[in-house]
Structure 1
């Protein structure tokens, strides 16, 4: 329980003594929002990420934005909880028709933030007490970023999220159980797939097939607030889609040297050409701006991206349509993606809000990876 009395789940990963807590949000969205408000959200999000770099023991964070068909369960529960007993029959019929027909073809968007901390102790209760006092500030400051209402996931809700990812068909069953007031008795050992098969470029789990892409190149040039809009939006033919951004705070001692090296690299690339290209000038400007912001106290982070698209069934002809849709969305965002060949099952799990940090499980040490 955090200091506000909210229960939260803590995932313990024995290799390295990692502990992960997950926060669920319901983003407000940018529709009908003024550009000034969006700028404030972006600035607040940058501040929130910078604040993470100063969190004691934090070694990684991920943001997972998931789009899925709306089963209508939430709307039904909301209407049932607020309808008046004295409401006219006509009003009741209108609400009933809305609950039945409105969710058809609509989607729900949820976002999950997984924060992973390293601790020398293996006692979960001790780590939990340390994080309980810090959770209210972490969730409270998210409101100014446009994330909407933010609350930590408890164990039952976390199990539902992971179970639904592996078997999308249970989403409607879980919503029906909630509408009936029943408790879904899920344990963490039950959330994996009943059966799974990983192939070279896809991953079949229960009655669904998923493909995961990883980012191989970040966008060049300036990134607008709506740069990822098409990639994050629901897409026809994709039952569930997850876009996961992973962040790794860089030690301030290393960050200063890295930004200076970026400046030298940009300058060297520009001087090697007889005529400086516009992209070279922009790269030099961005390197200088990053160095100035880092010197003023801004945090520096490594980041990565995974995109997972899930279709119900065994795939087949629909795979080409899904791949084309993801390729089009990534090009609109100017992000280079490629399928996670030979590692579809691992990439699927990394894209879930579980706090899995691939670098912490790699055989190469951090110093060797940085040299490469």
Structure 2
């Protein structure tokens, strides 16, 4: 009997941080602490005041608000205040007689790519000099696959992610699993719209019978992989003349990279159905902002009889961001980010509960950022070094604290990761975001509770993205955005 393969020891990226203080603040406090001890000998009152000030600073810095340090919380409050002051939390699509996209989507453009008989769409962000291409995937049914084969597919997926560290043109990849309840009438409309009048009578009768007995309520699950390319990595290949011509000069290089990536996904537990076209990308974005239009968009894509909106009109007609939710075209969404990975060893199916369809529309996105191969060892070693230094500072009186079992576990996990990187493994960072969307605002509390329960069953701890709801929503769209990058922006 083959033993079940287990996974664990995820590391949260760590810099020097003791009681909420970074290395600059910690250096100032430690220096003041030793100076206070020396001053205590000659001027007891002044020395004691300085030591008490050090204690006060470390106590305040240790305060946590919604899982964040006090400094991070104050910076977030500052960004939110600035967004409200500049009215960037409210969006109207019609501006000066033209249609615009919201937030980070503003300024992006859809680039149709037609090379070597292939046709697909790419979302180009000229300001960031990045371009994103989305693969539509079909995942292998895990319940119909032998556990050993399933673990082999997971291992190949790990190697695929590590291989991104050898491709400097790839900034990051987003893997999104989107589930939504769908009415059984959608299946009936799709079948009746595609039946041929010249087909065999027995076959058409069978299809009509199948549509009649289909369930009235069903669920739809889609999986997609968005690869974000950094155009600056191709500047040398394109040359100065090519750069002056614009994005079209980069498309042949982009297509070659896309072809090799699609081929390398074989054996990773998924199969590439197609590369999303410009119409599909626009439809996915429009349906995310306006879920009530999803049926009409899918029928338009299936039949081609209806005209889909241009990319500039794929966004919402209006949207406004509140501190704990995001309202867009009559729908309301709440976004979360993971605050803690599973603390114990788990199987490869640990996320099944989170990915399973629920009562409401749900979108779970995992953003993978691969560290360049030549930097992986330095990053892994830095994690061990920072933890060792933090433990050393933690032993000091006043500024220190007692070492916990969690600290020892993290130190062991960091050392294990360093040994694995030394043996040839890569270093990949991951961020999980989840968004739930409802049409009825009264159903929002139950939808949030369902999502949090599913995350708990998957042994994840989620944190609501207070004051970053619009960013959390946009990350799950097939446009190639990263929450880490959006969280640093002061503008919406």
SS at match of 1:303: strand
2:176 equivalent to 1:64:
yes
Query: Residues of 1 paired with 2:159 and 2:349: CA distance?
Result: 19
Tell me, which stretches of 5 or more residues in structure 2 are unaligned? 1-112, 233-242, 396-400
SS at match of 2:226: strand
Q: What's 2:419 paired with?
A: 292
Q: What's 2:62 paired with?
A: none
SS at match of 1:130: helix
Q: What's 1:49 paired with?
A: 161
2:457 equivalent to 1:308:
no
SS at match of 1:169: helix
Match of 1:259 among 380, 390, 397: 380
Is the 8 Å Cα contact of residues 279 and 301 (structure 2) preserved in structure 1? Answer: no
Q: What's 1:147 paired with?
A: 270
Match of 2:482 among 327, 352, 357: 357
Q: What's 2:124 paired with?
A: 12
Q: TM-score, normalised by structure 1?
A: 0.85
CA-to-partner distance for each residue in 1:115-144, whole Å, 9 max, x for gaps? 112223472112211110121221122231
Alpha-carbon shift at residue 336 of structure 1 (Å) = 1.7
SS at match of 1:97: helix
Q: What's 2:339 paired with?
A: 216
CA-to-partner distance for each residue in 1:161-214, whole Å, 9 max, x for gaps? 101111111111123334544143321111111121221211111121111111
Query: Residues of 1 paired with 2:410 and 2:346: CA distance?
Result: 13
Alpha-carbon shift at residue 50 of structure 1 (Å) = 1.3
CA-to-partner distance for each residue in 1:76-95, whole Å, 9 max, x for gaps? 6578469983343xx64442
Q: Which moved more, 1:288-297 or 1:38-47?
A: 288-297
Q: TM-score, normalised by structure 2?
A: 0.65
Equivalent positions of 1:115-134 (< 5 A) are 115-120=227-232, 121=243, 123-134=246-257
Is the 8 Å Cα contact of residues 71 and 175 (structure 1) preserved in structure 2? Answer: no
CA-to-partner distance for each residue in 1:58-116, whole Å, 9 max, x for gaps? 1111111111234565786578469983343xx64442132244253221211121111
Point out the structure with max Rg over C-alpha. 2
SS at match of 1:148: strand
Is the 8 Å Cα contact of residues 471 and 486 (structure 2) preserved in structure 1? Answer: no
Q: Which moved more, 1:194-203 or 1:95-104?
A: 95-104
Tell me, which stretches of 5 or more residues in structure 1 are unaligned? 365-372
Identify the structure with the greater helix proportion: 2
Match of 2:279 among 150, 156, 161: 156
CA-to-partner distance for each residue in 1:41-72, whole Å, 9 max, x for gaps? 10111111112222232111111111123456
Match of 1:336 among 447, 457, 461: 461
Alpha-carbon shift at residue 38 of structure 1 (Å) = 0.9
Alpha-carbon shift at residue 306 of structure 1 (Å) = 0.8
Q: What's 2:365 paired with?
A: 244
Is the 8 Å Cα contact of residues 23 and 153 (structure 1) preserved in structure 2? Answer: yes
Aligned length: 357
Query: Residues of 2 paired with 1:168 and 1:188: CA distance?
Result: 17
Query: Residues of 2 paired with 1:2 and 1:222: CA distance?
Result: 46
Query: Residues of 2 paired with 1:84 and 1:170: CA distance?
Result: 32
Q: Which moved more, 1:155-164 or 1:190-199?
A: 190-199
Q: RMSD over aligned Cα, in angstroms?
A: 3.1
Alpha-carbon shift at residue 244 of structure 1 (Å) = 0.6
